[in-house]
């Protein structure tokens, strides 16, 4: 029986990924699909086995894949192939690694969805009423947009974290890093109304430090925040992809459009690296043109 080098190489690599690297089932299936694609192409080119593939072969293969695959899929494909050949070289099943001169395609950074100021107002103003849940939901929307909180940060807010006199909020971010963010007057008013007329009724004679409570008097969950936001979004006829992070993105974008310094926005968002904040400078640059036309002496 003729030895099939592809079968031997692929079986050995997949066993390595499953047993030693402990990859999840979905990751194993993805790797298998990627390498099956490479094998199918190589066999059409009459390349006898993986050890006979060189960098020229790989460049041609990837070039053909580029017509069918998105950048993220090509990046995963190349990452799989790189791991495959690194394993083969280590096991003595290939004379060299043909991937060393080939770069992995960079994934394009996906721009976040943002709302216009009018859409934000419509969303927040759409939550009316004096019932405890209505007061709570209005306060939540005001804080999400007014303070740029992540949903996990919002759920983690305690009553003592909020200083309504100085209109400041202590936010606990990733890695338990703390930051102080200003609370605007509309948000402060909404939270004050909730505390005075809604929170005690949700608390139901219990003791709890959380600011935002569920119907049982416990800390509100992230899923609950998602659900109330989705309901408010439908009422305001906003895009279905609306999420708590949409309000955070909108907060950052509107600050920059209003003239806030990028470093200040970085601090307010709690970003460790300013490159994370810089994505907001690429969303809508029309306001820069307008500012230039108004201010520069040689603009017209």
Active site annotation includes 145: no
Report which of 178, 119, 186 is spatially closest to residue 149, judged by C-alpha positions.
178
3-state SS assignment for residue 181: strand
Report which of 121, 181, 148, 174 is spatially closest to residue 249, judged by C-alpha positions.
148
Do 81 and 174 lie in a common domain? no
- Quick check: 2 pLDDT over 50? no
Parent domain of 10: 5-90
Do 46 and 143 lie in a common domain? no
How high is the pLDDT of residue 261?
A: 85
Do 250 and 123 lie in a common domain? yes
Do 61 and 125 lie in a common domain? no
The H or E element spanning position 66 is none
Do 164 and 31 lie in a common domain? no
Report if residue 212 sits inside a domain.
Answer: yes
How high is the pLDDT of residue 159?
A: 94
Active site annotation includes 280: yes
Do 128 and 222 lie in a common domain? yes
Report which of 57, 50, 60 is spatially closest to residue 85, judged by C-alpha positions.
50
Active site annotation includes 57: no
Which of 44-53, 103-112, 164-173, 249-258 is predicted least confidently?
Answer: 103-112
pLDDT tens, 27-45? 889 999 999 999 999 999 9
- Quick check: 275 pLDDT over 80? no
Do 37 and 170 lie in a common domain? no
- Quick check: 133 pLDDT over 50? yes
How does DSSP assign 102-122, residue by residue? Answer: -PPPPPPPPPPP---HHHHHH
Report if residue 99 sits inside a domain.
Answer: no
Do 154 and 283 lie in a common domain? yes
Give the number of domains in the chain: 2
How high is the pLDDT of residue 48?
A: 86
Active site annotation includes 208: no
Active site annotation includes 271: yes
Do 77 and 122 lie in a common domain? no
Mean pLDDT over 198-202 rounds to 92
174, 177, 216, 263: which one is catalytic? Answer: 174
Is residue 241 within 8 A of residue 226, CB to CB? The reply is: no
Do 284 and 160 lie in a common domain? yes
Is residue 204 within 8 A of residue 132, CB to CB? The reply is: no
3-state SS assignment for residue 154: helix
- Quick check: 160 pLDDT over 90? yes
Residue 278 belongs to a domain with what CATH number? 1.10.443.10
Active site annotation includes 251: no
CA–centroid distance for 98 within its chain = 34
Stated pTM of the model: 0.60
- Quick check: 86 pLDDT over 80? yes
Mean pLDDT over 70-84 rounds to 86
- pLDDT, averaged across the chain: 86
Question: Between these two residues, 39 and 272, which has the higher pLDDT value?
Answer: 39
- 91 is written with which tokens? 């096991």
Do 232 and 147 lie in a common domain? yes
150, 199, 249, 254: which one is catalytic? Answer: 150
């Amino acid at each position: 029986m003729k030895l099939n080098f592809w079968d031997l190489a692929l079986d050995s690599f997949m066993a390595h990924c499953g047993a030693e690297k402990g990859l999840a089932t979905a990751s194993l299936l993805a790797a298998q699909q990627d390498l099956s694609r490479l094998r199918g192409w190589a066999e059409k080119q009459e390349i006898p086995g993986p050890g006979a593939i060189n960098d020229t072969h790989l460049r041609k293969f990837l070039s053909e894949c580029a017509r069918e695959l998105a950048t993220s899929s090509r990046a995963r494909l190349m990452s799989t192939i790189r791991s495959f050949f690194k394993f083969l070289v280590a096991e003595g099943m290939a004379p060299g690694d043909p991937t060393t001169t080939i770069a992995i395609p960079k994934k394009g950074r996906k721009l976040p969805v943002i709302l216009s100021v009018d859409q934000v107002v419509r969303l927040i103003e759409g939550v009316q009423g004096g019932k405890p849940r209505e007061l709570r939901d209005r306060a939540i929307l005001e804080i999400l947009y007014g303070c740029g909180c992540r949903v996990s940060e919002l759920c983690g807010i305690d009553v003592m974290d909020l200083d309504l006199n100085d209109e400041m909020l202590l936010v606990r971010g990733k890695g338990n890093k703390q930051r102080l963010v200003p609370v605007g007057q509309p948000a402060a008013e909404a939270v004050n109304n909730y505390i005075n007329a809604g929170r005690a009724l949700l608390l139901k004679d219990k003791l709890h430090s959380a600011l935002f409570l569920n119907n049982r008097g416990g800390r509100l969950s992230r899923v609950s925040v998602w659900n109330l936001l989705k309901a408010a979004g439908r009422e305001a006829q906003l895009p279905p992809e609306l999420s708590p992070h949409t309000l955070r993105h909108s907060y950052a974008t509107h600050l920059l459009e209003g003239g806030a310094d990028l470093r200040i926005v970085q601090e307010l968002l709690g970003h460790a690296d300013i490159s994370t904040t810089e994505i907001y400078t690429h969303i809508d640059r029309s306001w820069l043109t307008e500012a230039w036309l108004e201010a520069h002496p040689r603009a017209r």
